[in-house]
Amino acid sequence: MSSTTSNLKDAQIRAEIDRSLRHPVMFFMTSGAAWLAVSIVLAIISSAKVHSPGFLDGCPFLTYGRVFPAHMNALIYGWGFQAAFAAIIWLMARLSRQVCRSVGTILTAGHVWNFGVLLGMIGILSGHSTGVSWMEFPVFAWPVLLISYFIIVIWSFIQFRVRNADYVYISQWYLIAAMVWFPWVYLTANILIFVMTGHPVMDYAVDAWFKSALMFLFFVPVALGTAYYLAPKVTGKPIFSYSLAKLGFWSLAIIAPWAGLQKAVGTPIPYFLPYIGAAATTLLFLPALFNSVNLLQTTKQAKEIVSSSPTLRFTLAGIVGLLILGFSAILLNMPSSTLPLTQFSLSGYGFEILAIYGFFSFIMFGAIYFIVPRITRREWLSRRLISMHFFFSVYGIVFVALIAIFGGLQQGAGQEDWMHDWSSAALRARPYAVAITVAWSAILISNVFFFLHLTLMWLRLGRRSSHPTLLVSHESSSPHGAEGDIDNAGPASLPAHH
Amino acid sequence: MSLKTFIFGLSASFGVAWLAVVVVPYFKMRDLQPIPMSAEPDSGIFFPKRTGRIADGALVYSENGCYLCHTQVIRPTYAGNDLYRPDWGGLAADPDRGDTRRETNAFDFFGESYAHIGLNRLGPDLSNVGRRVEEIYAKDGDPKAWLYNHLYNPRMLPERRESGCPSFRFLFDKQKINGNRNAEALPIAGDDSTELVPSSDAKALVSYLLSMKKDQPVATSLNFAPAKKDSDS
């Protein structure tokens, strides 16, 4: 078989995989983006309430104590998980070279997931929150989410088992790990907190561990798996160092499960737990460093593409986010200096937003800009919409995360200053909250454009062209004029879509 | 590496930590044994009493997200300066007992299914809010009425005009006055024919808040306060 035939055959398989996954992947991405917009609106409302407590006052379902958990839960379960599902099912199918044969089941489970999230959100806003951070959905929701999770990802696991290749890509390591760890973490936390009767303080500690584990054992590995696919794929260069990737993976696997309990320092639980948590969270700098250096070196091999490819630009921003996340893991968790300041301040929120938006979401946006043209076989409509999305998101997230992290340290310093009246400490958070409200508004603008753009793509209103939408103008040099090739030829133009 | 080895690696790296920091401590804490008040044989066990609608009130507390801005933990001095604040861990100068301030212990959450340690301190710690309201804020008045007014409008008192607490107006019902006014009706708002009365949720929440007086004398083994020089015992 000549190499052209095998290339064409490979292209054919890729096209079949993409076609088989069009609807589930687009469904997860679009409904995820819609939840993201909802979450950001709730973020603006809740942040505004911190500095202007009279804003939208007195309405039960808009009280701060309900809007804020609704914001976080929509961000995690509405956007985060659905973006992760889209990435997992598409990447696993592509990397295992398997066409998806259970589209209907996945779509049904996806609808059930969304329905569960919707009911959970209504539950929180109508005053049925459980009061357990990041698990505020009323208790009926977690089995629904867990079962639909299994039904969504099990096929990717099967595809991995039946693949023909005998090698495993580093992306697959991360995705498989996230797929295994999440149900373990989620089931543990829900059973220990809601099903069994434990010591009330230990329940709180389990929740602190759950939040950290969800970030570092689900969102971080999914994003890393995706980044390890996108960076070499878009630049066309191999991963900088395979052993560094391995080191990054196993250091994360070994360190991350110990992290999280530093949030319970000073509470009556065994003394060693918060110290182990602080040590592990600080050490998370290592996997963050290994992986970000590896990925940055990979993209450095093709610098010129970074400015033109939307995918690479978002991915690169996410990798920088990972590096900052690693630094702040050290900065915020030193038991004898910063931990007392950050334990009960805005810093924790800044750290979480940095992990979920500053790192995970940026990689997911990169993946979406990469995947959507391939599965819809249409190119993105507008370079300007993509740049708007990028710049508003970057500026917004830099402000939200950094202001919350540093403002939180200031707020904590005020709390520790017991010689002064409490009200001076309480007022310290206000100016930072104003900045956070403004920054979330910028992110909202960016994501309204993004959601609109994505919806148009799902409706297959994208450009029919074989020229990808790049962030710099090359059209003038195209022999086919400004629009590039018109993709009327069907599968013949497949090799354009690697 | 085969899939089997890989999954084993994942499970081992995760499982060890999972057992060590979550499962084993969980079951150890679950079987927390009561401790004697002191080494003397008939000193009894340490059991901080709390009265009030604790379970109901805790539910209202979690449903309205009070834990987002208020904590319920007085950290030992190695973890923070909470104990130094004059009225957080107890009262710096209780008329009968002197300095009653102490740190939170594992027996302080009796009656609650989940300890609302809290996430942020946009507002003050509530471990001893019941004590504070009774002894300081509403010293010569009715503590319940003080809390109802505070929940209705946290910025009503001039010294609290900067409070960032949301108003919980929705926890109060407007009703027609039939005969005498309701004894618990708010002194504010309402005209001659209507009055504002706390709903069942508001009553549970206030009862819960007033139950928070975590400054009882603790068992000797939990008493980390430095020995007092002028102690007469």
The helix (H) or strand (E) run that includes residue A366 is: helix A362-376
Percentage of the residues of chain A whose pLDDT score is greater than 70 = 94
Interface of A with B in 141-180 (CB under 8 A): 160-161, 168, 173, 176-177, 180
The predicted model gives A445-451 an average pLDDT of 92
The predicted model gives A236-265 an average pLDDT of 95
Whole-number pLDDT of residue A476: 44
Residues from chain B contacting residue A425 (CB–CB below 8 Å): 121
Query: Do residues A85 and A4 lie in contact, with contact meaning Cβ atoms separated by under 8 Å?
Result: no
Q: Using H for helix, E for strand and C for coil, what is the string for chain B?
A: CCHHHHHHHHHHHHHHHHHHHHHHHHHHHHCCCCCECCCCCCCCECCCCCCCCHHHHHHHHHHCCHHHCCCCCCCCCCCCCHHHCCCCCCCCCECCCECCCCCCCCCCCCCCCCCCCCCCCCCCCCCCHHHHHHHHHCCCCCHHHHHHHHHHCCCCCHHHCCCCCCCCHHHEEEEECCCCCCCCCCCCCCCCCEEEEECHHHHHHHHHHHCCCCCCCCCHHHCCCCCCCCCCC
The predicted model gives A235-259 an average pLDDT of 95
Q: Do B29 and A161 touch (CB under 8 A)?
A: no
Q: Which candidate from A66, A258, A425 shows the least CB-CB separation from B17?
A: A258
Q: Which candidate from A202, A217, A276 shows the least CB-CB separation from B26?
A: A202
Domain boundaries defined on chain A: 3-496
Whole-number pLDDT of residue B190: 61
For A306-318, the pLDDT digits (tens) are 888 999 999 999 9
How does residue A498 score in pLDDT terms, banded at 50, 70 and 90?
Answer: very low
Interface of A with B in 399-418 (CB under 8 A): 411, 415-418
Whole-number pLDDT of residue B220: 85
The predicted model gives B42-49 an average pLDDT of 86
The predicted model gives B159-176 an average pLDDT of 91
Query: Do residues A184 and B14 lie in contact, with contact meaning Cβ atoms separated by under 8 Å?
Result: yes
Distance CA B73, CA B79 (A): 11
**pLDDT > 60? residue B203:** yes
User: Closest Cα of chain B to A379: distance in Å?
Assistant: 37
Between B228 and A181, whose confidence is greater? A181
For A137-154, the pLDDT digits (tens) are 999 999 999 999 999 999
Distance CA A403, CA A433 (A): 8
Least confident of A202-206, A313-317, A350-354, A491-495: A491-495
Whole-number pLDDT of residue B230: 54
Q: Which candidate from B3, B11, B66 shows the least CB-CB separation from A65?
A: B66
- Tell me how many residue pairs between chain A and chain B have CB atoms under 8 A apart: 218
Query: Do residues B63 and A70 lie in contact, with contact meaning Cβ atoms separated by under 8 Å?
Result: no
How does residue B209 score in pLDDT terms, banded at 50, 70 and 90?
Answer: very high
How does residue A497 score in pLDDT terms, banded at 50, 70 and 90?
Answer: very low
Between A136 and A5, whose confidence is greater? A136
Distance CA A340, CA B118 (A): 14
Whole-number pLDDT of residue B233: 43
How does residue B181 score in pLDDT terms, banded at 50, 70 and 90?
Answer: confident
For A158-204, the pLDDT digits (tens) are 999 888 877 788 999 999 999 999 999 999 999 999 999 999 999 99
Percentage of the residues of chain A whose pLDDT score is greater than 90 = 79
User: Closest Cα of chain B to A45: distance in Å?
Assistant: 13
Whole-number pLDDT of residue A477: 47
Whole-number pLDDT of residue B193: 83
- Is pTM beyond 0.80? Reply is yes
Residues from chain A contacting residue B3 (CB–CB below 8 Å): 160-161
**pLDDT > 90? residue B227:** no
Between A367 and A484, whose confidence is greater? A367
Residues from chain A contacting residue B73 (CB–CB below 8 Å): 266-267
Per-range mean pLDDT, top range of A236-250, A300-314, B217-231: A236-250
Residues from chain A contacting residue B136 (CB–CB below 8 Å): none
Structural domains of chain B, with CATH: 54-221 (1.10.760.10)
Whole-number pLDDT of residue B189: 59
Taking each helix axis from N to C end, the angle separating A170-190 and A242-255, rounded to the nearest 10 degrees, works out to 10
Residues with Cβ < 8 Å from B9, sequence gap 6 or more?
Answer: A250, A253, B1
Whole-number pLDDT of residue A494: 45
Query: Do residues A93 and A148 lie in contact, with contact meaning Cβ atoms separated by under 8 Å?
Result: no
In degrees, rounded to 5, the angle at the alpha carbon of residue A47 between the alpha carbons of residues B130 and A218 is 95
A372-406 burial, b at 16+ Cβ within 10 Å, e below that, comes to: bbbbbbbbbbeeebbebbbebbbebbbbbbbbbbb
**pLDDT > 50? residue A483:** no
Distance CA A314, CA A394 (A): 9
Distance CA A102, CA A158 (A): 11
Tokens of A296: 């940055």
The helix (H) or strand (E) run that includes residue A172 is: helix A170-190
How does residue A272 score in pLDDT terms, banded at 50, 70 and 90?
Answer: very high
Query: Do residues B103 and B224 lie in contact, with contact meaning Cβ atoms separated by under 8 Å?
Result: yes
Whole-number pLDDT of residue B229: 57
Whole-number pLDDT of residue A486: 47
The predicted model gives A219-229 an average pLDDT of 97
Q: What is the SS3 assignment for A463?
A: strand
The predicted model gives A443-462 an average pLDDT of 91
Whole-number pLDDT of residue B95: 87
User: Closest Cα of chain A to B183: distance in Å?
Assistant: 24
For A372-412, the pLDDT digits (tens) are 999 998 899 988 899 999 999 999 999 999 899 999 999 99
Whole-number pLDDT of residue A484: 46
The predicted model gives A12-29 an average pLDDT of 93
Residue ranges in A215-255 assigned as alpha helix (H): 220-235, 242-255
C-alpha closest to that of A455 among A26, A17, A18, A147: A26
Distance CA A230, CA A36 (A): 22
Beta strand pairing call for B172-176 and B194-198: antiparallel
**pLDDT > 80? residue B232:** no
**pLDDT > 70? residue A474:** no
Least confident of A242-251, A348-357, A470-479: A470-479
A137 touches chain B (CB under 8 A): no
Q: Do B21 and A209 touch (CB under 8 A)?
A: yes
Q: A3-496 architecture in CATH?
A: Up-down Bundle (1.20)
